[in-house]
Amino acid sequence: MPEPITYLEAIKQGMWEEMERDESVFILGEDVGVYGGAFRVTEGMLERFGEMRVIDTPISESLIVGAASGAALMGMKPIAEMQFIDFISCAFDQITNFAATCFYRCGEPLPIVIRGPAGGGTHGGPFHSKNVESIFFNTPGLKIVQPATVYDAKGLMKSAIRDPNPVIYLEHKLLYRRIKDTIPEDDFTVPIGEARIARGGRDISVITYGAMVWSALEAAEKLSKEDGIELEVVDLRSILPYDKDMILDSVKRTNRAIILHEATLTGGPGGEFASFIAENGFDYLDAPVVRVAAPDTPVPYSPPLENFFLPNAERLIKAVRKLAEY
């Protein structure tokens, strides 16, 4: 039996194996080489693959994505690391106006992966804790994924690298070393755009992704024991495109839906998911679609304030009990 590995190690394995498999795959970013990455995701890669394939860059996210885009047009498959995903905003123009539209404009694929640590819970403050999926959610031509499990972390990384067009790969840093699992030693991928049922249930569907999957599972266990309410937890895995069929199938079974995400409420992906359910699954609903998300403020630095800010199992439980009584 293989040994359990961390979420972080699964991401690293996915990149490492794709670099072994395909010489056109390379990594670039701040401190990815000599230092091994801020979170040690790329540790040992410089020694294995050399400085032409593991490239330390200046502190310039626009440069990183611009160089990656040019390399992709020349047949390479770059993996561009954002040291913290918050700084992806510095490359907004390159991502939204060039990379995302490249295939539409000129018929040329642009196979780049833009990856980095996202999310709160580590007391990183407003510049190191963002969830940026909402910012790019309205950009045709992009794909956005966020794995919640060790298996998906590796499988989605491989799929992202093999995809012919830009993929934003979000890694919730709270999961880096907090979850472990055994995964197959054979090559495998997780298709982009396919959700999974993390926990079956009959009463309320909780549609979520990333670290919030674990909060939903924690809430589901408590509600099952204390209230007899059985949540069905849908782990989207892919935020864009998202699995519309699985969302609808789940709502058909439970007749109630809660959207749970760590991104702030207003303009968050939950609004799109809720609208989709209302437009396409209204006949199956016995109650309004509810959103549980972070409030519309920057992520606080203070640990007590951050704990108040972040959605968690208790907040979800409160929303579930209210919705169950509707």
Q: What is the predicted pLDDT for the residue at 193?
A: 98
Same domain, 69 and 150: yes
Assigned domain for 155 exists? yes
Residue 206 has pLDDT above 80, yes or no: yes
Same domain, 159 and 42: yes
Assigned domain for 188 exists? no
Task: Give me the sheet containing 54-56, strands edge to edge.
Answer: 54-56, 25-29, 77-81, 113-118, 167-172, 143-145, 238-240
Q: What is the predicted pLDDT for the residue at 307?
A: 96
Structural domains counted in the chain: 2
Nearest to 239 by CA among 215, 219, 261, 265: 261
Range of the domain at 209: 196-324
Same domain, 74 and 106: yes
Q: What is the predicted pLDDT for the residue at 246?
A: 98
163: phi then psi, degrees, rounded to nearest 5: -70, 140
Residue 79 has pLDDT above 80, yes or no: yes
Q: What is the predicted pLDDT for the residue at 2?
A: 83
Q: What is the predicted pLDDT for the residue at 302?
A: 96
Go through 37-72 and write b for each residue having 16 or more CB atoms within 10 A of its CB, e for each that does not. bbbebbeebbeebeeebbbebeeebebbbbbbbebb
Assigned domain for 50 exists? yes
Same domain, 119 and 235: no
Same domain, 83 and 147: yes
pLDDT in tens, 23-73: 999 999 999 999 999 999 999 999 999 999 999 999 999 999 999 999 999
Q: State pTM to two decimals.
A: 0.97
Same domain, 173 and 28: yes
261 is catalytic: no
Residue 297, class by beta-carbon neighbours within 10 Å (0-12 exposed, 13-18 middle, 19+ buried)? exposed
> Which two tokens mark 168?
């934003």
Residue 215 has pLDDT above 90, yes or no: yes
Assigned domain for 64 exists? yes
**What is the rounded distance in angstroms from the CA atom of residue 220 to the CA atom of residue 229?**
8
Same domain, 108 and 200: no
Q: How far is CA 69 from the centre of its chain?
A: 21
Residue 1 has pLDDT above 90, yes or no: no
**What is the rounded distance in angstroms from the CA atom of residue 10 to the CA atom of residue 4?**
10
DSSP 264-317: ESTTSHHHHHHHHHHHHSGGG-SS--EEEEE-SSPPPSSHHHHHHHS--HHHHH
- CATH number of the structural domain spanning residue 120: 3.40.50.970
Task: State whether residue 144 is helix, strand or coil.
Answer: strand
> Which two tokens mark 88?
């992806």
Please state the rounded mean pLDDT for residues 95-112.
Answer: 96
